[in-house]
Structure 1
Amino acid sequence: MASGAGTTDAAVGQSRRGRSNAPGEAIGAPKRGSSSESVVARMHSSARRLILPGIAVLAVCGAAGYFTGRMPEPWENTALPFAALVLIVLLGVIPFLRWLGRVYTLTTRRIVLRRGLVIRSRQEVLLTRGYDVTLRRGPLQAISGSGDIIVDTGGEDPVVLKDVPAAVQVQAALADLMELSTHVVGTKRQQQIQATRRPFDP
């Protein structure tokens, strides 16, 4: 799932018809009665976050190339490439790794939030409880089609999917998935009650 200027690494899983959604298509939820869990969408935050780090890396490379051999002291010319490398790592590589390490996965049963590449954290939210889903977006997010999806779990801190691409489609898909999940759970409970009910029970 992706919106034109929104993401570069949004990988959409299998839809209810068993095929992958093309970029820009709405997320498909599985049919009612499906018992197996399947991935609906997997995404990162909007790639707009990488614009400034990319500009910073280009600026550092340009400045290093211009000043190489022009510094007044020999040691400064020697140290310049190392200083440029440190700046590239701090301004470009680390922000990219932070963006890459934050992954949001929507399945037919839950929301999975994963953060980090070295020290990883994982958070899961079951969809069967039917949480409130709110979309919050600023002017730049509205232009790029991204936004913050806030899932109110009833606790102190809501779960926030920060700056996800195609935010409107994600919000609609989450609402549909929660509705389907609660419907499936209710149907299973009714079936269990019917199976244990005696013939003379009302």
Structure 2
Amino acid sequence: MGLPADQLSPGERIVLETHEHWKHLVGAGLICLAAVVGLVVVLAVAPQQGVLAWLDVAAWVACAVVVAVFGVWPFLAWSRRTYTLTTERLATRTGVLRRSGRDIPLTRINDVAFEQGIFDRLVGAGTLKISAASEQGTLTFVDIPRVHQTSLRINEQVRAVRGR
């Protein structure tokens, strides 16, 4: 998922590993569903012979493109965007074709806050805001599942690192 074992330092262990909440994919799923419904409608009403017989093939191609662009690609991007809390750092990894990442040592984290809208509260997700002593200042992580527990785990790990 997030960090392979060869990217952990000696004695470092993974405490929490997650990616964005599934609600992040709802829009893409609805678009794919609409594409499939459109395909079924075109296949049902398009003539099998004559001048418009090519509509069947065009509908299949259009549906495949929509599902690839608005379904498969967002799912791959979602599954490859991970957040990993270890005993020493908070690591983010993103990207399908080109990977990028950011590691924040727990000793640099100053504040952990979260926000939840109504829909976020219904599904148990939220936005996590982490203030770190760095050039970027506050980092925002959107659609984090179980945001209360994640915030608590980060705070516990920061206290544990500072207590060493």
With the length of structure 1 as denominator, give the TM-score of the two structures: 0.69
Partner of 2:65: 86
Using the alignment, how far apart are the partners of 2:121 and 2:60 within structure 1? 40
Distance 2:44 2:127 in 1: 47
Q: State the SS of the aligned residue for 1:83.
A: helix
Q: Report if the CA contact (8 A) 2:24-2:143 is conserved.
A: no
Q: Distance in 2 between matches of 1:69 and 1:168?
A: 48
Shift of 1:56: 2.0
Amino acid at match of 2:163: H
| Match of residue 19 from structure 1 | none
1:160 aligns with 2:140: yes
Q: Deviations over 1:29-85 (max 9, x none)?
A: xxxxxx821101110101011222222222211220221263361222221110111
Amino acid at match of 1:171: S
- Compare the two structures and name the one with the higher strand fraction: 2
Q: Which moved more, 1:55-64 or 1:104-113?
A: 55-64
Q: What is the RMSD computed on CA atoms of the aligned residues?
A: 2.0
Aligned ranges 1:7-46 → 2 under 5 Å: 36-46=11-21
Aligned match of 1:141: 120
* Residues 82-107 of structure 1: CA deviation (Å, up to 9, x unaligned): 01111111221122112112100010
Work out whether residues 109 and 130 of structure 2, in 8 Å CA contact, stay in contact via their aligned partners in 1.
no
Matched with 2:5 is none
Equivalent in the alignment of 2:53: 74
Q: Which moved more, 1:47-56 or 1:161-170?
A: 47-56
Identity of aligned residues (%): 26
Question: Is 2:158 aligned against 1:178?
Answer: yes
What is the rounded CA distance, in whole Å, between the counterparts of 1:172 and 1:52 in structure 2? 29
Alpha-carbon distance in 2 for matches of 1:101, 1:77? 35
Number of residue pairs matched?
152
| Aligned mate of 1:53, from 2, 18, 28 | 28
Question: Which sections of structure 1, spanning at least 5 residues, go unmatched?
Answer: 1-8, 12-34, 185-202
CA contact (8 A) 1:130 1:179 kept: no
8 A Cα contact 1:149 1:161, kept in partner: yes
Matched, 1:65 2:40: yes
Does the residue aligned with 1:113 lie in a helix, a strand or coil? Answer: strand
Alignment gaps of 5+ in structure 2: 3-9
How do 1:185-196 residues align onto structure 2 when only pairs under 5 Å count? Answer: none
**Structure 2 residue 87 is matched with structure 1 residue 98:** no
| Equivalent in the alignment of 1:31 | none
